[in-house]
Structure 1
Amino acid sequence: MPKSPRKRALTSPHDALFQWTFSQREHAIGLLKAALPPEVVAAVRWSTLRIEKGSFVDRALRSRHSDLVLSARMGAGRIYFYAIIEHQRDVEALMVFRMGLYMMRLWERLTRDQPGLTELPPIMPVLVHHSDTGWTAARAFQDIVAARGPARAALLPHIPCFELRLVDVSGGRAGDVVEEALTALGKVVLWCLSVSGDDARLEREIGRIAAALDEVLQAPNGLAALEALLRYLVATHERLSVRKSGGILEKATGPRAQEAVVTALDEIERRGERRGRAQGRAQTLLELLAARFGEVPAEVSARILAANEATLVTWTSRILTAPTPEDVLGDDGQRASPARRPAARKRARRT
């Protein structure tokens, strides 16, 4: 049974699908082998690939950029792969600059965690891009530095020099990759990213990935993958109903996938209903907190909006007795009741 991909707070459906898929080693290896230079692919010991913890994207940009850090043995050391998925309508002219910032943050963390380092490990930057026009900006950092004329040659040795490895899915097929290296799920995911929001292309081109979808469904975690794909299609094709999105996938995979599609759709609808109830409870709790305590702190509001229904029920039950908003959200195991706190303070004074 394959290990579940790592969990992290997700900010968009693109982030959710990308992280769910490529936080699994086999699919990450396929993506990297498809995107990297053949010399690097041959030098890496892929059996040592691991997913690294942490994100280096600015909070304000996490709705547009999602990152994934991986590493593997290469020679006597490790090589790091810094992958970003960028999904927006326009091309960001200085994206290579942002990538450079994120790479520097990764190197900074590595030197902090390993103070004895005398050399920096290589970092390979990979950008997965989707936009209306396809990638039109510079890939090399030195190309965005405004140094022109006779002095440019003399300035170049003093300017950072690196180039993005680009996976451009804007045209319906992933550009600049060796598609044969991708796993079946990797192919399907990149295709889903490429048709995001375009209902007509989704229906017209679904047959292109029919064989890959069949292979995905035959895998041990095929039902989980199908649910992740359907969840993405529902979120990014809002004009289509949940059942319509499922029907499009079912048409591509044939009758034998019908039961899997129906099961996945039922689970999505159940989760949607639970999420709707939780959102209603969260709004009610926020209104009650504001009525009793005044303006609700941003961190308290964020915790409430992210909580599940059972937790919200517990917090709502505390609203009349808790002395502060923070006490409403206190952990059950650690939160002392108001009546017990004075005794606890007396014991502290005696010690």
Structure 2
Amino acid sequence: MPKSPRKRALTSPHDALFQWTFSQREHAIGLLKAALPPEVVAAVRWSTLRIEKGSFVDRALRSRHSDMVLSARMGAGRIYFYTIIEHQRDVEALMVFRMGLYMMRLWERISRDQPGLTELPPIMPVLIHHSDTGWTAARAFQDIVAARGPARAALLPHIPCFELRLVDVSGGRAGALVEQALTALGKVVLWCLSVCGDDARLEREIGRIAAALDEVLQAPNGLAALEALLRYLVATHERLSVRKIGGILEKVAGPRAQEAVVTALDEIERRGERRGRAQGRAQGRAQTLLELLAARFGEVPAEVSARILAADEATLITWTARVLTAPTPEDVIGDDGQRASPARRPAARKRARRT
């Protein structure tokens, strides 16, 4: 039975599907073997592959791309694979610079965790890209540094030198990949990423992954994989209903797989209904809390109102219990209920001085 993939706060359906799939070792090994130079593939001891903790992407950019760090033994040390999956549809001209920045952060952490190092381990940068045009920007860091003319040759030894290993899934195909190295689920996931948002291509090209999809569904965790795939397709093809997407998959799935499709669709719909009921209860509690605040304090500040409307049901229950005792609307939604009111703070300071 394969190990459950690691849990992580996810920022997008692209990240969710990628992390769910490639945080499982067998699929991660397949992706890296398919994407890396043959000499590196031959040198790595793949049985030692592990997923490293942490992310190096700036918080403000996590809606656009996310990362995964893996490492394995190579020779006497380890090699790190720094993988970024993009969530945007445009080509970012300075993406190679961002990759270099994240690689430096990874090296910084490695050197901090292993203070006796005298050499840094190699990092292989891998970019999973999807856009309307395909990749059009520089892959090599030295190509984005504005050094032209006769002085360029003299400057190059002083400029960082590395190149992205690019996996471009634009246009329905994963370019520069040794597809035979991918697992069946890896092939299906990269294809799903490649048709993101393009309903016509989803229907027209689904036959391309028919054999791989059938293999996925026959695996021990096939139903879980199918549900992850369906969730991604539903989130990225909003004009198509859940049942329509299920029907598209059923057309290419074998008879044994069709029952699995129906089962996964039923589970997705049940979870959607449960989320809808929970959201409805939260909206009702939020409205009640706003009415109570208005009755006690008058006009509710816009910031307080916005936080209430965005809160989940459990938080709203906690906040509603404070309405009768909190001195201000801000204290009702104070962090963990611990924020002292202005009226109490002087007394608290006096107690602190006496102790």
Q: Cα distance 1:291–1:176, how it changes in 2: closer, same or farther (>3 A)?
A: farther
Alpha carbons 1:91, 1:137 under 8 Å: kept: yes
Q: How many Å separate the matches in 2 of 1:260 and 1:233? A: 16
Q: Is the partner of 2:337 in helix, strand or coil? A: coil
Q: Is the partner of 2:162 in helix, strand or coil? A: coil
Q: Is the partner of 2:260 in helix, strand or coil? A: helix
Q: How many Å separate the matches in 2 of 1:291 and 1:103? A: 55
Q: Cα distance 1:200–1:159, how it changes in 2: closer, same or farther (>3 A)?
A: same
Q: How many Å separate the matches in 2 of 1:218 and 1:294? A: 61
Q: Cα distance 1:279–1:13, how it changes in 2: closer, same or farther (>3 A)?
A: farther
Relative to the length of structure 2, the TM-score reads 0.85
Structure 1 range deviating more: 269-278 or 135-144: 269-278
Q: Cα distance 1:266–1:117, how it changes in 2: closer, same or farther (>3 A)?
A: same
Structure 1 range deviating more: 302-311 or 192-201: 302-311
Q: 2:285 is matched with which residue?
A: 281
Deviation at residue 300 of structure 1 after TM alignment: 9.5
Q: Cα distance 1:343–1:150, how it changes in 2: closer, same or farther (>3 A)?
A: closer
Q: 2:78 is matched with which residue?
A: 78
Relative to the length of structure 1, the TM-score reads 0.86
Q: Cα distance 1:338–1:203, how it changes in 2: closer, same or farther (>3 A)?
A: same
Q: Cα distance 1:309–1:33, how it changes in 2: closer, same or farther (>3 A)?
A: farther
Deviation at residue 116 of structure 1 after TM alignment: 1.9
Alpha carbons 1:87, 1:131 under 8 Å: kept: no
Alpha carbons 1:84, 1:126 under 8 Å: kept: yes
Instruction: Please list the CA deviations of residues 181-212 of structure 1 after superposition, one character each: whole Å capped at 9, or x if unmatched.
Output: 11111100000000000000000101110111
Alpha carbons 2:195, 2:201 under 8 Å: kept: yes
Q: How many Å separate the matches in 2 of 1:50 and 1:160? A: 28
Alpha carbons 1:274, 1:309 under 8 Å: kept: no
Q: Cα distance 1:158–1:19, how it changes in 2: closer, same or farther (>3 A)?
A: same
Instruction: Please list the CA deviations of residues 270-324 of structure 1 after superposition, one character each: whole Å capped at 9, or x if unmatched.
Output: 2222336556656766787798789999999999788765565555455545668
Q: Cα distance 1:277–1:235, how it changes in 2: closer, same or farther (>3 A)?
A: farther
Deviation at residue 337 of structure 1 after TM alignment: 15
Deviation at residue 89 of structure 1 after TM alignment: 2.1
Alpha carbons 1:83, 1:128 under 8 Å: kept: yes
Q: How many Å separate the matches in 1 of 2:298 and 2:194? A: 46
Q: 1:226 is matched with which residue?
A: 226
Please report the RMSD computed on the Cα atoms of aligned residues, expressed in angstroms.
Answer: 3.8
Q: Is the partner of 2:166 in helix, strand or coil? A: strand
Q: How many Å separate the matches in 2 of 1:335 and 1:42? A: 58
Deviation at residue 48 of structure 1 after TM alignment: 1.1
Q: How many Å separate the matches in 1 of 2:75 and 2:304? A: 48
Deviation at residue 328 of structure 1 after TM alignment: 6.4
Q: Cα distance 1:332–1:159, how it changes in 2: closer, same or farther (>3 A)?
A: closer
Alpha carbons 2:142, 2:156 under 8 Å: kept: yes
The total of aligned residue pairs comes to 351
Instruction: Please list the CA deviations of residues 194-243 of structure 1 after superposition, one character each: whole Å capped at 9, or x if unmatched.
Output: 00000000001011101111111111111111111111111100000111
5 Å-filtered alignment, 1:339-350, equals none
Q: Cα distance 1:255–1:343, how it changes in 2: closer, same or farther (>3 A)?
A: farther
Alpha carbons 1:293, 1:325 under 8 Å: kept: yes
Structure 1 range deviating more: 165-174 or 108-117: 108-117
Deviation at residue 130 of structure 1 after TM alignment: 0.2
Structure 1 range deviating more: 277-286 or 183-192: 277-286
5 Å-filtered alignment, 1:1-351, equals 1-275=1-275, 278=282, 309=313, 312-313=316-317, 316-321=320-325
Q: How many Å separate the matches in 1 of 2:208 and 2:146? A: 43
Which stretches of structure 1, 4 residues or more, deviate above 4 A after TM superposition?
A: 276-351
Deviation at residue 45 of structure 1 after TM alignment: 1.1
Structure 1 range deviating more: 149-158 or 328-337: 328-337
Q: Cα distance 1:138–1:252, how it changes in 2: closer, same or farther (>3 A)?
A: same
Deviation at residue 259 of structure 1 after TM alignment: 2.1
Q: Cα distance 1:266–1:105, how it changes in 2: closer, same or farther (>3 A)?
A: same
Alpha carbons 1:129, 1:166 under 8 Å: kept: yes
Listed as ranges, the gaps of 5+ residues in structure 2 are none
Structure 1 range deviating more: 328-337 or 306-315: 328-337
Q: Cα distance 1:76–1:47, how it changes in 2: closer, same or farther (>3 A)?
A: same
Alpha carbons 2:128, 2:166 under 8 Å: kept: yes
Instruction: Please list the CA deviations of residues 62-118 of structure 1 after superposition, one character each: whole Å capped at 9, or x if unmatched.
Output: 111011111111111111111000132211111000101111111111122222222
Alpha carbons 1:318, 1:328 under 8 Å: kept: yes
Q: Cα distance 1:77–1:231, how it changes in 2: closer, same or farther (>3 A)?
A: same
Alpha carbons 2:34, 2:182 under 8 Å: kept: yes
Q: Cα distance 1:340–1:153, how it changes in 2: closer, same or farther (>3 A)?
A: closer
Q: How many Å separate the matches in 2 of 1:201 and 1:15? A: 21
Q: Is the partner of 1:162 in helix, strand or coil? A: coil
Alpha carbons 2:331, 2:340 under 8 Å: kept: no
Listed as ranges, the gaps of 5+ residues in structure 1 are none
Q: Cα distance 1:47–1:272, how it changes in 2: closer, same or farther (>3 A)?
A: same
Q: Cα distance 1:189–1:79, how it changes in 2: closer, same or farther (>3 A)?
A: same
Q: How many Å separate the matches in 2 of 1:185 and 1:73? A: 25
